[in-house]
Amino acid sequence: MTLHTGEKPHGCSVCEKSFANKTSLAHHKRIHTGEKPYSCDECHACFRLYSCLARHRMQHSGERPHRCSTCGHGFFRRRYLQEHERTHTGERPFCCTLCPKTYPSRASLKEHQWQHREGSSCSVCGKDFPTAGSLRKHMRVHATNYTKTHQCTLCSRSFSRPCLMRKHLQTHDLQTHDLQSHDLQSHDLQTHDLQEAEVIPAAASNVHLKEHQRTHSGERPYTCSTCSKSFTFSSAMRRHERQHSGVRFQCKFCSKSFSRTPDLTYHMKMHSEASSARSARRT
């Protein structure tokens, strides 16, 4: 009966959400507990819901049950098919509330709306990002709550990911060390050709090290001459100063201009996607 009445008598004891039945409540509670009882036999990825596991398995099997009636392209989720079909119809049902732009998917609208909000810069190093996803990915560089299992054999530093540890190696003067004597297991470099390792001059590595150390010390030696805001990196200060100077980067396809190159790059991508959609409709 609750399905018809809209009643939701089963409330979560952790947050204020309520649900129509006990099963939905049990599924929701796994968000708080972190429980993921359904495991993939192929890659051991874990999921809160069996339906999520079933969709995930299609990535391994190659199964694409949802087919586009226009071009035959297959998708393992109906939502992805619906978004794809809009490239044929030209439908753009998702409208930005802050400007006249429209988008074929909710995800592309959310990425666009990121440009309207404040705080699209990294709070640690000041670097600007055109999308929320790219900022989240960047913030992992500064994260300190990851398990640091990759330890440098040249110093006591350890890192949460192999790529961070490899970047750290560049701060050492690699030309004075025999890379062949490194413990490759600890660096997780077994599959990389050491002959292709990038070796940078010691002077450059010292500069990068000093800049990196500022992310820990909080030092901000670069100050804007207009508003006195300070920055960790000179490049971040220069990007900020363009807001005062009025310097703009012009799109070559339309009259729009931007104060930041990442915004221009993301905007140009929109032109490219629109052009691809028109080409798909013509074919």
Over the stretch 49-92, which tens digit does the pLDDT of each residue have? 888 888 888 777 777 888 889 888 888 778 888 888 888 888 88
Which residues are CB-contacts of 172 (< 8 A; sequence separation ≥ 6)?
152, 154, 155, 205
Question: What distance in Å separates the CA atoms of residue 175 and residue 202, rounded to the nearest whole number?
Answer: 9
Alpha-carbon distances of 215 from 119, 144, 158, 225, 236, rounded to whole Å: 18, 12, 16, 22, 13
What is the value of pTM for the model shown? 0.33
244 is written with which tokens? 């005062």
Over the stretch 115-157, which tens digit does the pLDDT of each residue have? 666 556 776 777 777 666 777 777 777 665 455 667 777 777 7
Element at 38 (helix H, strand E)? strand 38-39
Over the stretch 176-206, which tens digit does the pLDDT of each residue have? 444 444 443 444 444 444 333 344 344 445 6
Question: What distance in Å separates the CA atoms of residue 238 and residue 244, rounded to the nearest whole number?
Answer: 10
Question: What distance in Å separates the CA atoms of residue 275 and residue 271, rounded to the nearest whole number?
Answer: 6
